[in-house]
Amino acid sequence: MRAVTYVRNNTVELREKPIPEIAADEVLLKVGGAGVCHSDIAIIGMGDENPLIGSTLGHEVAGTVDKLGADVQGWKVGDRALVALILSCGQCRECLAGRDNQCETVSPRDSLAPLSPGIGVDGGMADYIAVKAHHLDPLGDLDVVAAAPLADAALTPIHAINSVRDRLTGDATAVVLGLGGLGHMGLQILLATTGSRIIGLDTDAEKLAFAESKGAIAIPSDGEAAGKILELTNGIGADVVFDFVGVQPTVNTALAAVRNGGAIRFVGLGGGSFPYLAGSDPSLPWGVNIERAYGGTRSEMRQAIALARDGKIGVEVKRYSLDDAVQAFDDLHHGRVQGRAVLVP
């Protein structure tokens, strides 16, 4: 089968690999769609010593059940399924407490990231993927191409949003920094599940037009953005800022636009930073709650699927044939993708 393989620093190639054998508790999934994420670009840029070299990429994977292991129950050939982002153990303290995105078994404290398809085991940018049956969620009649990005691009924003849901009242203001793969889903989730005023920021005019068409206020992401947010909130600032980019300008905007006692969720991995001064620090308002959000739980995955099945959220998909994977990586890297690039085998 064909498999998008990370071969060396900043290089992926379509390689021929054997169709995986499945264990008794696994399912062979015929991949219908695999999303391309900025994290994939970050992963392949981690140098020539990266232990992930040689593996198949792809952590946003949907498809149809092709073959069942001997012990698998509850699935039949032809069923549509979404592969979990985090391949949690289901048994540790965090999993049992419903925080399976922080699974102790597959997410050691010093690990690069929790175990995921394409991050530690072969991912779904291929014709087939072998997955433990308990790492699949049913998609019903959802289109597998449009559903694949839900695994990260909807799950991760939902998790960040749920962590501040009590703040997102009808009189609150939430800011979405970056309207790319995750941001354009986060914006829709906020609009669909809260009554708050939503402000979307991006540097790209087309992405701003998308935000406006969905009912958000759109502001160009530049040095004046924080001032405009303060203006819109009578000088008080936003209740919650979601930074789906994480580059220095968006980190600066988040800090400058959040209100006293507000919250920031840093999701994007763009390498921005801020100094924390324990004392009278003018750069961080009093009472601000900050979380470095990662992924989401299986329960939140079900929420993402339900919102998509109800038509309340939808991924803007840019389709690429699996054979054009290198082009898709290149287009994403150069900011030429609106919404999410999805590889279709």
* Residues in touch with Zn ion (CB under 5 A): 37, 39, 88-89, 92, 95, 103, 105, 152
Q: How far is the CB of 94 from Zn ion (least distance, A)?
A: 6
Residue closer to Zn ion by CB (options 22, 37) is 37
Residue closer to Zn ion by CB (options 89, 230) is 89
Q: Helix, strand, coil % (nearest 5) of the chain?
A: 30, 30, 45
Reported residue count of the chain is 345
What is the distance of C-alpha 270 from the center of its chain? 14
Smallest Cα–Cα separation from 61: which of 20, 32, 100, 25? 32
Residue closer to Zn ion by CB (options 103, 251) is 103
Buried/exposed code over 275-301 (b: 16+ C-beta within 10 A; e: otherwise): eeeeeeeeeeeeebebeebbbbbbebb
Q: How far is the CB of 101 from Zn ion (least distance, A)?
A: 10
Residue closer to Zn ion by CB (options 116, 173) is 116
Residue closer to Zn ion by CB (options 113, 232) is 113
Q: Please answer whether residues 153 and 340 qualify as being in contact, where contact means their C-beta atoms are separated by less than 8 angstroms.
A: yes
Q: How far is the CB of 59 from Zn ion (least distance, A)?
A: 6
Residue closer to Zn ion by CB (options 217, 344) is 344
Q: How far is the CB of 222 from Zn ion (least distance, A)?
A: 26
Smallest Cα–Cα separation from 266: which of 280, 279, 248? 248
Count of CA atoms in the C-beta half-sphere (13 A) of 58: 37
Q: How far is the CB of 242 from Zn ion (least distance, A)?
A: 15
Q: How far is the CB of 336 from Zn ion (least distance, A)?
A: 18
Q: How far is the CB of 258 from Zn ion (least distance, A)?
A: 25
The token duo for 45 is 């840029």
Q: How far is the CB of 21 from Zn ion (least distance, A)?
A: 25
Residue closer to Zn ion by CB (options 101, 194) is 101
3 state SS of 119: strand
The token duo for 82 is 């979404």
Q: Please answer whether residues 344 and 323 qualify as being in contact, where contact means their C-beta atoms are separated by less than 8 angstroms.
A: no
Residue closer to Zn ion by CB (options 63, 124) is 124
Q: Which DSSP string do the residues of 134-189 spell out, in sequence order?
A: GGEEE-TT--HHHHTTIIIIIHHHHHHHHTTGGG--TT-EEEEE--SHHHHHHHHH
How far apart (Å, rounded) are the C-alpha atoms in residues 112 and 119?
9
Residue 13: count other Cβ atoms within 10 Å of its Cβ: 12
Q: How far is the CB of 85 from Zn ion (least distance, A)?
A: 8
Helix residue spans in the chain (DSSP H): 38-44, 93-96, 144-147, 155-162, 181-193, 205-213, 225-232, 248-257, 298-309, 325-333
Residue closer to Zn ion by CB (options 103, 174) is 103
